[in-house]
Structure 1
Amino acid sequence: MDEILYAREASIGIDEFIEVLRQSSLGERRPLADTDRMERMIANANLIVTARQEHTLIGVSRALTDFAYCCYLADLAVDRRHQGHGIGKRLIAETRRHAGPESMCLLLSAPDSIGFYKSIGMPQPDNAFLYKRER
Structure 2
Amino acid sequence: MDYDLDDDPARIQHEVVWAWLSTEAYWGRWRTRSDVETQIGNAWRVVGAYDRTTGEQVAFARAVSDGVGFAYLADVFVLDAHRGHGLSKRLLQLMIEDGPGRDLRWTLFTGDAHGLYRQFGFAEPDRTAMVRPAFAHRTGE
TM, length-normalised to structure 2: 0.77
Query: Is the Cα contact below 8 Å between 1:32 and 1:38 reproduced in 2?
Result: no
Measure how far apart 1:22 and its partner are. 5.5
Change over 3 Å in CA distance of 1:99–1:65 after alignment to 2: farther
* Residue in structure 2 matched with residue 104 of structure 1 by the alignment: 105
* Residue in structure 2 matched with residue 37 of structure 1 by the alignment: 35
Query: Is the Cα contact below 8 Å between 1:4 and 1:52 reproduced in 2?
Result: yes
Which whole-Å CA distance do the structure 1 matches of 2:117 and 2:101 have between them?
A: 20
Q: Give 5+ residue unaligned stretches, structure 2.
A: none
Query: Is the Cα contact below 8 Å between 2:47 and 2:91 reproduced in 1?
Result: yes
Which whole-Å CA distance do the structure 1 matches of 2:39 and 2:20 have between them?
A: 14
Question: Could you tell which deviates more after superposition, 69-78 or 121-130?
Answer: 121-130
Which whole-Å CA distance do the structure 1 matches of 2:100 and 2:107 have between them?
A: 12
Q: Which amino acid aligns with 1:95?
A: M
Percent identity between matched residues is 24
Q: Which has the larger radius of gyration?
A: 2
Change over 3 Å in CA distance of 1:130–1:56 after alignment to 2: same
Change over 3 Å in CA distance of 1:101–1:115 after alignment to 2: closer
How many residues were matched structurally?
130
Query: Is the Cα contact below 8 Å between 2:48 and 2:91 reproduced in 1?
Result: yes
Query: Is the Cα contact below 8 Å between 1:78 and 1:88 reproduced in 2?
Result: yes
Q: CA RMSD in A?
A: 2.3
* Residue in structure 2 matched with residue 47 of structure 1 by the alignment: 45
Q: Give 5+ residue unaligned stretches, structure 1.
A: none
Measure how far apart 1:15 and its partner are. 1.1
Change over 3 Å in CA distance of 1:100–1:33 after alignment to 2: closer
Look up the SS of the partner of 1:51 in the other structure: strand
Measure how far apart 1:43 and its partner are. 1.2
TM, length-normalised to structure 1: 0.80
Query: Is the Cα contact below 8 Å between 2:22 and 2:31 reproduced in 1?
Result: no
Measure how far apart 1:29 and its partner are. 2.4
